[in-house]
Every structure is written in structure tokens, then in C-alpha cells.
């Protein structure tokens, strides 16, 4: 198994995201979002290990974004090593607090687990529904993904009660 330091991958990830002209979301660079809104990192979680199942260790980095408005989206980037170089294998944007905001993301039993606040909220699905106050989601959706060798494929979802009653992310220890 090839391994690399989480600190190294965090530095590389942040450099890749903010210094590369290829750092894009929905066809726009982060600086172009909406034409005139500049986004900046408000929080960055330490790089956490992921296992893609192909024998190589990877890492994920979550970035909380200050978008100069009231929304609180997060961006998550997943990396692996390929031929001695860091390779981005998936990135996604979450919703805003109770509307698909990031509760937690972690690796468990060879799968990637993404927890988003709200009922039936999954990456690639409808995140913004406005069913409850942004401060206080009553539930969260836990989705599990398996690495296919080319992409992460969703394998299951379950809706669970939100024990905290608030929209604060569960931070890695």
C-alpha cells in the first residue's frame, strides 16, 4: 500500500484548489461565482485518510467557504496518488446547513460516507428544498459510496434523526 503524509496532501490540495486555473465548480472558477462574488476559505479540516479499495491510500480535505452572503456551503476534495503524483478523484459542493449542508464525511469499512443535513439529501440530488429552518435540521441523510476504480458510486442511503438538533458539522477528531 502506498501512503503519504496528511500534512503533505493538505498543502498540495489547498495549493491545487486555489492556485490552479483548473479549480472549477459548475463550469465557473471559484473567483467568478455569480460574476462578482469572491469566495474564501473560512475553515479547512485536516486531511483525513480514505481508502479507495485499489490498495492506494488517499486523502480528503473539506473547505468551509465564506461567500460574502448568508449561505454556508462546503467543498470536499478527494485525492489519491497516481504514479507518484497527487490526483484529484472527486470533488463536490454541499448545500447550506439544513438544506443539504455537510454534517460529516469519513471513510468506514472501505467506503466513503457522506452525511448531509436534511431528509433525502445526497450529492447530485436536490439539496435546497427549504423544508425547515436552516438552523435546526431534524434529520440528516447518510449516503455510502464505493470506489469503482474510476469514480465513487452510491451504494446506500438512510435518513437518521439529528441528535444535536442544530446544523453544526461533526468535526473529525
Rounded to 5 degrees, φ, ψ at 8 are: -65, -45
26 by DSSP, 3-state: which? coil
Rounded to 5 degrees, φ, ψ at 11 are: -60, -45
By the 8 A CB rule, do 167 and 97 touch? yes
By the 8 A CB rule, do 100 and 128 touch? yes
Tell me which residue of 66, 171, 48, 161 sits closest to 112, measured CA to CA: 48
Q: What percent of the chain clears pLDDT 90, i.e. is strictly above it?
A: 23
Q: Is the pLDDT of residue 7 over 50?
A: no
Q: Is the pLDDT of residue 84 over 50?
A: yes
22-72 pLDDT, tens digit each: 344 444 444 444 444 444 454 445 556 666 666 666 778 777 776 677 777
Q: Is the pLDDT of residue 156 over 70?
A: yes
DSSP state of 21: T
Tell me which residue of 108, 164, 173 sits closest to 140, measured CA to CA: 164
DSSP string, 56-114: BEEEEEEEEEE-SSS---EEEEEEEEETTEEEEEEEEE--BTTBT-EEEEEEETTEEEE
Confidence of residue 117 (pLDDT cuts 50, 70, 90): very high
Rounded to 5 degrees, φ, ψ at 76 are: -120, 135
Confidence of residue 106 (pLDDT cuts 50, 70, 90): confident
* Cell representation of residue 173: 477528531
Look at 102 and 12; give whichever has higher pLDDT.
Answer: 102
Confidence of residue 20 (pLDDT cuts 50, 70, 90): very low
Look at 61 and 92; give whichever has higher pLDDT.
Answer: 92
Mean pLDDT, all residues of the chain: 74
Over residues 3-20, the mean pLDDT reads: 47
Amino acid at each position: 500500500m502506498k501512503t503519504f503524509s496528511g500534512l503533505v496532501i493538505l498543502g498540495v490540495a489547498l495549493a491545487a484548489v486555489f492556485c490552479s486555473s483548473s479549480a472549477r465548480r459548475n463550469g465557473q472558477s471559484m473567483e467568478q461565482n455569480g460574476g462578482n462574488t469572491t469566495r474564501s476559505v473560512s475553515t479547512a479540516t485536516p486531511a483525513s485518510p480514505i481508502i479507495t479499495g485499489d490498495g492506494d491510500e488517499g486523502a480528503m480535505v473539506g473547505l468551509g467557504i465564506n461567500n460574502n452572503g448568508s449561505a454556508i456551503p462546503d467543498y470536499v476534495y478527494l485525492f489519491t496518488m497516481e504514479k507518484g503524483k497527487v490526483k484529484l478523484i472527486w470533488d463536490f459542493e454541499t448545500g447550506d446547513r439544513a438544506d443539504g449542508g455537510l454534517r460529516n464525511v469519513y471513510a468506514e469499512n472501505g467506503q466513503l460516507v457522506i452525511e448531509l443535513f436534511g431528509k433525502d439529501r445526497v450529492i447530485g440530488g436536490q439539496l435546497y428544498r427549504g423544508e425547515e429552518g436552516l438552523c435546526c435540521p431534524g434529520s440528516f441523510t447518510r449516503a455510502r459510496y464505493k470506489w469503482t476504480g474510476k469514480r465513487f458510486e452510491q451504494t446506500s442511503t438512510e435518513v437518521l434523526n439529528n441528535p444535536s438538533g442544530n446544523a453544526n458539522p461533526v468535526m473529525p477528531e
